[in-house]
Structure 1
């Protein structure tokens, strides 16, 4: 049903017979109701109201026979004309529509609010993605740089190890030279003892009747000359040995300093390698968090952008030179 209070409209024509005035049969509501036993009483219990109440009771009985019960609300709405009734119904419809519009406005406001929140969240996610992309690009560039530095450090380390090995060999050779010098010293001491025992280096006793001049010329002077030659030779050798010892000591000191320097460089490069390894581990963590595929895409895009920028820079430079 399309009505809040279902009702029916009854069209009838009240009339009476045996009228004492006018026609024998004529229209008369009051007379027709009086013939049915409805007579006026109080102001509210008129014939018309009595008849309406009687008809309601009869309709209620008919409805009960068909299983329909009359729910009496105790209200009495004034009968309206068709125009007023339609106005009333339109007013109800307008009220419903206004309520629907109000609900729709509230829902639309909620949707707009949710849309704004979603846009803000999307912007936040976009900014986070951009930050991650930039950080990943920087980490990728840093990783490439770290790889280059690591390769360079490995080469330097190998070179330092090679130089250190060469220094150790030189130090070993110097040690051998020092040992040879020590052997020479032992040989020299042995030769000195030989001078004490060898007859060539002994001044013989003068023979009988040998004059001092003859002894000097034949025995003393030749021995002195030989001794002078030996002293000269030993002096030259001693000076040479002292110079060699001085040079060897300088070389040993220099090589010791070089060894300490290279050891320090090796230690510094070892520390730097550890730092590079730590950064490489951080980059691996980022790859695991973001995803290898995304990292590869970001790195590829970053390299492509760098390539395009480099190409544009070269073209701009070529254009400037052409002008």
Structure 2
């Protein structure tokens, strides 16, 4: 019996959440022995996004080519999977032979455990052709040797969605695993097959499988006892009730009837929950996406946030959401609770009315006449006071601020044509593209003066002027973008956007390469040192040492290092990498900001040439007024 125990090792095969940065020691947990990090063996280390492009790039292109509408296409499959709820972007398993007592550092099985894990890893993808490994490392810097294997499960489905897509269940089915029932599914069958292979490896090394460490959920002793007792009580109660049901109806006691009724109620409750869940999932799978128009950016964001909280999928575009047809009522309910944040005080509204009327007034008296036409009452005295149709008391203009004193009003009125004159001057020397935007700027100023639009300030703390108008400044910003980027046509906008996207992609790749280089270079420097420290005594190394030395030799050859003194250049580059990364990050941020400006130009210009810009502002204004009335009613 003692011999059997000594030759027995447990096998541990478990699924993990998967933190690649931890596996690659980009951050270090407390249980890691830092001095032993260079001992770790990296089998594979690829960038997950690049790996996705290798696996799904062509399939994604074929899928998108079949979609007529942009909202139906998938721009980034990795992000698409990450935002979904059915699949994870990748899976991770942790594999281990033995435990700290029988395979820990300095134990008789330490080297054997390493060799067995190495054999398991090298055969993993041959056994599992649908599980594409992008990161795999053997950790030798913790208590016991173990493997972290990160992989993307793929399935081929030419008749549904992408011809190659992510699916763990589908991947396992293609590999021949099937589901007998809910408890004995593909996952369970696959895991058992992997454990059986681990057992075969044990036999090759003259060992057998000891199941003392069968993986279970991590419970404390008290938790385990409570769960076990509760499960036993439930089983006993069900057995008791099932026995009662065999009795004749007239022999039940009141307690027995109550127990049977409780069990029936519980079963009905569980069936109802199951049916509701199935119905919800069925609706999601079969739903059509329909457009849901919202002309206020604030309101659009409010509805989008509500849909997110309700876990309803949607696609967001300019002034529109595409939502599942079954969610329209929910979206309407969310929208009905929206309240504009721009109601403003009575004084603010009076000031804004005066600010707008200044642009069409010839004098202060003319301004006051226009206020009367809008329902104001005017009181002349030492200070002019006005009472708006939506107020109960008079307000002195002086109390609105210095800019509303008579002399200041006279000065502002004398300059009221300056803004339009500058726009017309700009228009006279502009390209056709710029002229269209200048024309809309002038039309917008007229709509503001005619009170067809309630303007919004760019800087709320300042008085309202055309130069402090959000919608006008958005148009002026587009003129600046056109001039700065030398854009001359509609096609030129999209060409510039494509150019910036390509530049961003290049800088993103450069940044990824530099970010990945730091830990890689650090590891390679350690390997080079290991090589020169052990190359003269290679015959004394064990089998794993020989493997490490061979791997280190490849690194030495890769960098053309002839002596340990030449490592200084690599160490200098490692020291400068953070500076290089910051430089590229800054350039990337600049390009992203430039692309954001060009995309904004595209949205605005499409609205301008379609003649919708002012109409959208007016519709937004109507919605805002309606919401203001709702606020008053509430």
Fold shared, TM-score > 0.5 on shorter chain? no
Structure 1 length-normalised TM: 0.22
Higher RCO (CA < 8 A, seq sep 6+): 1
More strand by share: 2
Query: TM-score, normalization: structure 2?
Result: 0.13
Larger radius of gyration: 1
More helix by share: 1
